[in-house]
Structure 1
Amino acid sequence: MKKSLPPLTWFRAFEAAARHLSFTAAGEEIGLTQSAVSQQVKALETRLCVTLFTRHARGLSLTDDGRKLLPQVGSALGILSVATDTFETGSEADLLTVASSISVAQWVIAPNLAEFTKRYPHIRIRFLSAIWPDDFNSARANVEIRFGSEKQVGKNADLLTPNRLIAVKAPELVGDICTLPLIEAVGTSNGWKDWSTQIEDVPEPQLFADSYGMALHLATQGNGVALVSELLIKDAVQMGAIKRAHPAAISANEGYYLSVDERNEQALQFKEWLLGLLA
């Protein structure tokens, strides 16, 4: 009897986590929570009877078995992507495909998308929260927005805005960062501990989220003070959903990077619009 293969989703989670060396960043890319990515990788390790990652307090590193498996999995996913592209003909091929981290799609693109569609009514857009192939070689997406460090996101990707973290809270919430519950995005290199080192001493965080977008949402609902990427908050501040809880900011190792198909006119128009939005 032929042995069955592990589910494709397990390999997909492993490949993304191996590129980013972070379950959180992998989840941002493929549209899963940090815990879901971790569970799928653990399931693959159990199935293969190997350890693929060494887990550290902040991040991951590949074991010898992980390094051995990664090229084969990446190649297989790339082949599958090319195979499916063959069938995307006709009207489907005319779509502008934007693959974005969920946080950027929710907090940056969605509040302003009507402006883009009004300016370019002829452009149809398909949004993806999953990017399969590695190193920005995907033919499935004309525009890609990825989260990670400069090393993690691959080649031909430009930083959207400086990597800075700021503290935010709901406008009606009374208190400051020393008295209110602190919300932290886990799986990133920088957090409230860095704030304590660089700005002022603060208590341990009480609430944890697996992305900056989720941390920001928790803050808008009055659950405490979130330390999030500055890129995400512009519209939330303008709409009165959030305000800065402290004037300071700290640098972050990870950020949001943009890569576009320079041969695609619609992708270049989207890039111009997005950069103008963030200027």
Structure 2
Amino acid sequence: MEAKLGRVVITGVAGRVGPTVRAALHRDAEHVVLVDRESVTADGANETALKADIADLGALARSFEGAEAVVHLAGLSGEAPFADLLDTNVQGTFNVLEAARRAGVRRVVLASSNRVTGNYPIHHHVFPDEPPRPDGLYGVSKVASEALGQMYADTFGLEVVALRLGSFEEEPTETRHLATWLSPRDCAGFVRAALTAPNVSFVAAYAVSANARRFWDLAGGESELGYRPVDDAARFAAGFPDDDPFWHGGPQGGAYAGPDAVLPYVRDE
């Protein structure tokens, strides 16, 4: 793919997904700004590393100056006390969107999650425009983040793409991943498409590989972003039992859903 992007910022670049996105944009963007609260080292003349926390709106706005787009990966990536999720995932997303508005950024790609619909049953094929059914407090925080993205698109004209990431792994490590796996190659493909797709206002799309057993509809990502995933977890299926209880029914979130997953984070200390 020829570079079609100017200056692009990645927040949370030191996290699990960050290195894959960084490698992809290193080829596709004229300049990549690496933002994380941990120290990150720039690699080459087309990278700049900045230490900043998404809690600091002013620092974000300065980091975003001159940027064409932002890929927002920073945040808590699993179940946590609700106050922490509000501070990091919701307030943090607000800060990123507001900093982008102030800096004149054209497009923001939000790392949302498949868990915004994790309480749908496994036999239900979910389309992106169906109502949210989060499987826990983390999922709720991502629903709120998507709502902020929609509001900034509608109110301020910011172009926003919320990618509902699947299970990002080098290869599946549990039975559920036969449905939810997102390969590094497809992750990079979805992010590139989210940054370059034309005629975007607000788009929410599932970013998951082309798994034969997937729960989620990919038509939105293909029609609105122009990306069709290429990998399929089916080639790893022999490593998992066909009669795994996961396939007997229950929520798509699997072990991430249900009282046992949520209650440890809502009980009084």
Using structure 2 for the length normalisation, give the TM-score: 0.27
Using structure 1 for the length normalisation, give the TM-score: 0.27
Which of structures 1 and 2 has the larger relative contact order (alpha carbons within 8 angstroms, sep 6+)? 1
